[in-house]
Structure 1
Amino acid sequence: MVKPKKKATAQEKLAKDRLRKKEKYAEIKKDPEKYRLEKEKERKKYLLRKEKKKILSIAEMTDRQKREQRRRWRKNSRKYLNKLKEQKKIERVLLENSPPTSENEEIAHIADPDPLMEIEKTPKTVNSKATQSIQVNSSGTRKLRYRSMKVISNLKKEINKLKRDKDMLRRTNKKRARNAESKK
């Protein structure tokens, strides 16, 4: 007996649609002429939507629309930066856990190394007297790092406090402006 076909859900249909569009676009991208025509078509669509005022520049938007758009931009940029951070983490883990291709090869770190860590890694005994004066012991390095991190955190706190003060002043100025307008 033949099994009855189950109907695809909306999500499955959307997934198939996305996949089909992706394949079609990849096919178009291979041929430079088709790709150029596709880009022209997209540009015309964009200009038409812009003429009909469906797409507005930030200068043409109302205050409410500006706030919403900027919120979307912040959200999208946060999402993008988190995605990049995750990719770097994954790459770092893969590099650290993968065996070297040769015995002499050292694994390069993807993340920016801490410059203070480089000082700790340097050998403590050096033959030349000129380089000995430059060497810093590890406890001195830790103290230096601790102090710099403390300064940085204090400065960040101060920046946040100033931002809050600025926002409060902006809000009070808006209230005063509204009150002045309502009195007129």
Structure 2
Amino acid sequence: METTALQSLALSYNRLGRAGLRQLLRTIPARSLRSLRSLELDSVLGDTHGDIGDTHGDTGDIGGDIGDIGGDIGGELARYLQQAGCALCHLSLAGNHLRDGDIDELARCLPGSLRSLELSANPGLGPGTFRKLRPGLGSLRMHGCGVGDLDGTTRSRSREKIQELP
């Protein structure tokens, strides 16, 4: 029997918590790294008052108490995305209590293959998110974020970085 490589993994709305998400990212087989095109992890971290499997009492956002994705699960996500051969085209992190500070590390580790980024329902994300993302995204979704009115500079930079806004 011939097996096919995993191309899409959608685990949205499963309360994995940080411990479960950390374990998941560590156990995705290396052969899937080159074939996985879509990773959907919407609302997997629970609420902002702690989450399942987390015994440290941290908040439910990816960056923990300090809003830095480089710590806690953000480091795991960064390590996953930075692996050689990562072919991810679509990443969805909607509803995970992200803040602008979380985007700093994430923006540095997005693979060149990434064309679509879903960040909706993260009200802690504001206009600064646009300035941090690399050029080449075909789609950036930020419904329900704290973007508000974009100033002229941010609007101009956004046009340069994003080819098409949904």
State the TM-score, normalized to the length of structure 1.
0.19
State which structure, 1 or 2, has the greater radius of gyration over its C-alpha atoms.
Answer: 1
Bigger relative contact order, structure 1 or 2 (CA pairs below 8 A, ≥6 apart)? 2
Which has a greater percent of helix? 1
Which has a greater percent of strand? 2
State the TM-score, normalized to the length of structure 2.
0.21
